[in-house]
Amino acid sequence: MSYPRHTMSSAGSRTSRRTFEFGRTYVVRPRGKHQATIVWLHGLGDNGLSWSQLFESLHLPNVKWICPTAPTRPVTLLGGFPCTAWFDVGELSDEGPDDWEGLDASAAHIANFLSAEPADVKVGIGGFSMGAATALYSAVCWASGRYVNGIPYPINLRAVMGLSGWLPGSRSLRNRMESSNEATRRAASLPLLLSHGTCDDTVPYIHGEKSARNLSSAGFRYLTFKSYDGLGHYTVPKEMSDVCSWVTARLGLDGSRS
């Protein structure tokens, strides 16, 4: 299943446009009653296939997983080397500068998938590393009701997960949230799960911890932060088991105990 290019006007200019060629999308169909759909986003340089294979083995029969592949683009952090990336990144910083246009295009691409889901199906977004950063950015777009470029955000998110990631441009996004009472009210109702390994040397643990604090202070009160002692920049069965339990409980799926 593949999707065509996506274009979006720049946040800084109404005339300049960049074209983003998204890669192949992999879908894991629910084995039971379809109650939820989650778009899951891979990390820098990866693709949707590896995560779709993992989700095939998880015991979440009522969830449909959509695992897209990011565009291939030059990445500043890698000296301009091209690889799959949801947005360009130079450094992990509260300030940025961040590729808001790339983030908006990726968030819109994700929203397009979820907008096609049945009305009675609960929808969410999750991701790992850069995919987690994009998922958390989508959460802020949902709460504020719009992308950074001003276009309305169209999806009613019910859950967002970020593993080994960070909130891109967290200071400006937090300021944006704090300037709107409505955004703060909406944020308080959205379940967020952030998890991070204490020995992550790619996205250091402090970035996950700081992102959780910034999101909480911006109004995301329904936030769970889980740390995993000794875990590096990868996932383990215990972490994925915790994700499954959290998704089941927060989305009220069959088999939930809470």
Q: How far apart are CA 238 and CA 255, in angstroms?
A: 19
Residue 127's alpha-carbon distances to 106, 254, 258, in angstroms, are 13, 23, 24
Q: How far apart are CA 118 and CA 222, in angstroms?
A: 25
DSSP string, 233-257: SS--HHHHHHHHHHHHHHTT-TT--
Using one digit for the tens of pLDDT, what is the confidence trace for 184-220?
899 999 999 999 999 999 999 999 999 999 999 889 9
Burial 145-184, CB ≥16 within 10 A → b, else e: ebbbbeeebebebbbbbbbbbbbbbbebbbebbeeeeebb
Q: How far apart are CA 30 and CA 13, in angstroms?
A: 42
**Mean pLDDT, the chain, integer:** 89
Look up the pTM and report it: 0.90
Per mean pLDDT, which range of 13-27, 54-68, 127-141, 159-173 is the poorest? 13-27
C-alpha dihedral sign at 159, 60, 2, 68: positive
Q: How far apart are CA 144 and CA 25, in angstroms?
A: 28
- For residue 8, what pLDDT is reported? 42
Helix (H, G, I), strand (E, B) or coil at 205: helix
Q: How many residues does the chain have?
A: 258
Q: Which domains does the chain have, with CATH numbers?
A: 23-250 (3.40.50.1820)
Tokens of 162: 């970020």
Please compute the mean of the pLDDT values over residues 146-152 and round it to a whole number. 93
Q: How far apart are CA 6 and CA 114, in angstroms?
A: 15
Catalytic residues: 129, 200, 233
pLDDT at residue 55 greater than cutoff 90: yes
